Amino acid sequence: MRLALLVVYYPPSRASAAVQMSDLAASFTRQGHEVTVFTTSPEAPAALVEEVAGVRVVRVPTGRVKEMGLLKRAISEIFMSLALWRGARRCGVRVEDFDGVIWYSPTIFLAPFVAWIKRRSRARAYLILRDIFPQWAVDAGVMRRGPAYYFFRVFERFQYRVADVIGVQSPANLAQVRADTHGRRRLEVLYNWIDVDRTEPLSSGLVERHGLAGKRILVYGGNMGVAQDMDNLVRLAERLRGHGGVALLLVGAGSDVERLRRVLSERALVNVVLVDEVDPDEFRAVLRRCHVGLITLDRRLTTHNIPGKLLAYLEAGLPVAASVNPGNDLLTIIQSSGAGIGFVNGNDEEFAQATLALACDEARRADMSNAARALLAERFSIESVTGQLLSALEDPVSLEPAAAA
């Protein structure tokens, strides 16, 4: 098949979406499919097309979305589809040649470009839905149900109409999206994925540079924003303050980083090391020096999220300690598999005591490490995901909701 993949971030970006979509493009290419990736590039002076490991990549210039305020970011993202359309035309990319389109949300603003490809090529379209926006922003207190909310809802519903199949990342999200699509789109669970056959990463000196050698390291890696409730990890650090052999390592970027840095300084939490985002391969190496992988989500969220960092932890064989919103399928997944422990955000004392006990119990961590790798191979392998996507694009589209095993 000739496939078009659309995503805001793509390597050299270090965002989890970039890594996942790059792995997906590589997997399709290994199977003999022709892949074109459409993406944004703040550094590009003009639209350009290049070949990266057998994948054609079309990059169009945009602003640095992550570094913008909410209003500027919204305006920039609204015009992404127009930028991609212009970039495709200037680079001479024939959208009539595609057999299938796969796009990754967030953002909710790529659907107009997908609709244009579908109209010109009659390709089927698959929406990989990872954040149910704007609902999560309302849940987290970032937005109220005012004009902006309903404006974004128009784009959200439009992307649902454009998709032939929608893959949500959690069974708990099926009912909500089914209500929004009124049963007129095929829905299924499409879990996040990872290439389990990647070579082992080279070593990293990050642990030594930050004085963490010899400590039990609780690591958090990824986005640090409102939805993640970074104060949840601050509360954890405060409860573990007296345990000198245990430290928190926070690695990543996001809208809440500067505030988090101030809070850690004001509360003199010397058991926390906050590090800027690092190269994905270095992060893989860092994880192999850690002892427990942390996941946190705001307890107010009514949408459900299985963060990409979970897969990075599982690949490294890290037991997982999660503190998330009520009803999140992540709790069932990690506990039923034996790969970790999970709590509803707000049970701070129980979460802290259980995480500390896990960090200090080498035998239990070894058992969970084996369970983590088994869970990864069973449910989150890239081979199962590419097969599921190709099947959805090739088969006649049914409107009956379906869930992945």
Same domain, 153 and 218: no
Q: What angle do CA 78, 169, 31 make, to 5 degrees?
A: 90
Same domain, 179 and 216: no
The token duo for 117 is 């490809």
Same domain, 20 and 76: yes
pLDDT value for 64: 60
- The string of pLDDT tens digits covering residues 59-113 is 998 766 555 555 666 677 888 889 899 999 999 998 998 999 999 998 999 999 9
Q: How many CB atoms lie within 10 A of CB 299?
A: 18
Structural domain span for residue 268 = 206-379
Same domain, 54 and 171: yes
With beta carbons less than 8 A apart as the criterion, state whether 177 and 132 touch: yes
With beta carbons less than 8 A apart as the criterion, state whether 214 and 275 touch: no
387 inside domain: yes
402 inside domain: no
- What whole-number distance in Å separates Cα of residue 322 and Cα of residue 341? 6
Same domain, 348 and 277: yes
Same domain, 362 and 386: no
- The string of pLDDT tens digits covering residues 340-383 is 999 999 999 999 999 999 999 999 999 999 999 999 988 888 98
| Length of the chain (residues) | 405
User: What's 274's domain CATH number?
Assistant: 3.40.50.2000
Same domain, 388 and 348: no
Strand pairing partners for 103? Answer: 6, 127
Same domain, 62 and 96: yes
- What whole-number distance in Å separates Cα of residue 19 and Cα of residue 336? 27
Strand pairing partners for 353? Answer: none
| pTM of this structure | 0.78
* Pick from 154, 147, 151, 156: nearest CA to 129: 156
Same domain, 275 and 255: yes
Count the domains in the chain.
2
Residues lower than pLDDT 70 in the chain: 63-74, 396-405
